[in-house]
Structure 1
């Protein structure tokens, strides 16, 4: 990601304004997890699969977005929106989130079975937000580095205030809460050709052409492996999508490399410099990070979000 990027025509610079805080603190679990592109890629695909289990979301995305004709552009825009909510200055985050909400306000229609939906339906907003949290957290935990139960709880708590900016009313506070949401929606879940069409795009590398070819199928199968068994069964994703040992090792190797090598043009490094921290702040030991935060007088808790 370039230092200066854009979303919906707005130019955003993660390095400016100097000192402007993000909605989440530099030592948040979000800052740690979102810096890893493998966790975001695998977790993002898992989140979409969880969303596509519900016909209302599947129809909304497939009928009203450019994903099937421009998977690269759609993936980049989604990535920018996610990054700005975690690393961006608060003013930019509010602007982007409002833009996303304005765009979603125009999305509505009927599923193939004739059920009406609106993208801003609270039930759908809550589920989409929850699937992203579940996907990113579990992808990092599975393929990058183990996340303690305490940090998993922190991760869910941190995400609530930003989610509310999108109109989300209920955010899970734990994996158990997420699974309870899933059980409530499960009677709606169903298989559909669009799910396999989406996975085909991932496996072909169209959505992430810069990723090594060996990872394309592994990304898809890694995402399927994160699905709760109930969802995988409902989506009828058979043994073709089983994660092999070779797939798992490839993802873990890629995740480990991404965890150690800073992308100096990426949002995590640029946001660190905006706050006066070294660009490689997030790639240092936890003890070194804590020392730097003390030296720079930075708070170690998420910034307050106005209700």
Structure 2
């Protein structure tokens, strides 16, 4: 059990400015999702879940998303599949926005919206296949690769929140895995870990499989330089990218040859933690968490109430 934090009091003009900036992070192109509709329709994940608490934090989500891609790129088949068939190089910001929106739909969207979005992803992945630079065949819908992608995303978002916002108990970490199962099944990731123990076992089984690549360093450079954050807080972006490297298991970071230049200093770490903890109290009423609460007839600040007990 844990208690939800109070919201940060903001003057209306500042709230509106931050609200518009945060909406921009989800992109201005592609499908527009109204998370407040259809009225009363539940999500794949219940509102009183650990996931609804963790995924509302925009800072830890950014960190966790970068960490997840780093882990994906450590697996050669996933790395070459993404790099050969996506717009990371040519339009990294749009790709980042689509990924962030997909995460929001999976957790906060109405079940019908989430199921339709995931079905579309599965259809697109059915056409993604090729040969890696090492000569291996790959297909995006191979279960082993789907399991790895599901695992890396779950680890990234969970670990970023745990490290920079608030320590998650083993019970809460296991709950996050259970809550991810419905979406994982829809994606075809039926072998993804269902507990912290299974996560650690999968990581250990990959020890000889994961490898470094120049693509990893190129990806980090893109993520550091692409204008993903609003202008006033853009200097924080490089620190968030470093923060993503910091949460990788040490042995994986060593395998990827990510040296000290990607480490946070003590003051930098404190800055990231302050930003992430502040974001955890920042209620922006146009973003998916508040809209989803409205859809279910819950108050906008439901996820921030200090006395609302979480049922894990």
Mapped partners of 1:57, 1:211: distance in 2: 34
Mapped partners of 1:239, 1:2: distance in 2: 34
Per the normalisation by structure 1, the TM-score is 0.89
Mapped partners of 1:61, 1:233: distance in 2: 22
Match of 1:49 in 2: 70
Mapped partners of 1:209, 1:80: distance in 2: 17
Post-superposition Cα deviations, 1:44-84, rounded to whole Å, max 9, x if no partner, equal 11111111001111111111011111111111111111111
Q: Is the 8 A contact 1:202 1:219 kept in 2?
A: no
Mapped partners of 1:135, 1:217: distance in 2: 17
Map 1:262-301 onto structure 2 (within 5 A).
262-285=283-306, 287-288=307-308
Match of 1:171 in 2: 192
Determine which structure has greater relative contact order: mean sequence separation of CA pairs < 8 Å that are 6+ residues apart, divided by chain length. Answer: 2
Post-superposition Cα deviations, 1:266-300, rounded to whole Å, max 9, x if no partner, equal 00000000001111211221x2366xxxxxxxxx6
TM superposition shift of 1:209: 5.1
Map 1:45-84 onto structure 2 (within 5 A).
45-84=66-105
Map 1:10-159 onto structure 2 (within 5 A).
10-159=31-180
Post-superposition Cα deviations, 1:198-217, rounded to whole Å, max 9, x if no partner, equal 00012224444557233222
The total of aligned residue pairs comes to 290
Q: Is the 8 A contact 1:7 1:81 kept in 2?
A: no
Match of 1:182 in 2: 203
Report the CA distance shift for 1:98/1:187 in structure 2 as closer, same or farther (over 3 A): same
Q: Is the 8 A contact 2:27 2:94 kept in 1?
A: no
**Residue ranges of structure 1 left out of the alignment (5+ in a row):** 291-299, 302-307
TM superposition shift of 1:229: 1.4
TM superposition shift of 1:173: 2.5
Per the normalisation by structure 2, the TM-score is 0.88
RMSD over aligned Cα, in angstroms?
2.0
**Residue ranges of structure 2 left out of the alignment (5+ in a row):** 1-21
Structure 2 counterpart of 1:251, from 255, 272, 277: 272
Mapped partners of 2:45, 2:249: distance in 1: 28
Match of 1:304 in 2: none
Q: Which shows bigger deviation, 17-26 or 204-213?
A: 204-213
Post-superposition Cα deviations, 1:213-252, rounded to whole Å, max 9, x if no partner, equal 3322211111111111121111111111112112211111
Match of 1:213 in 2: 234
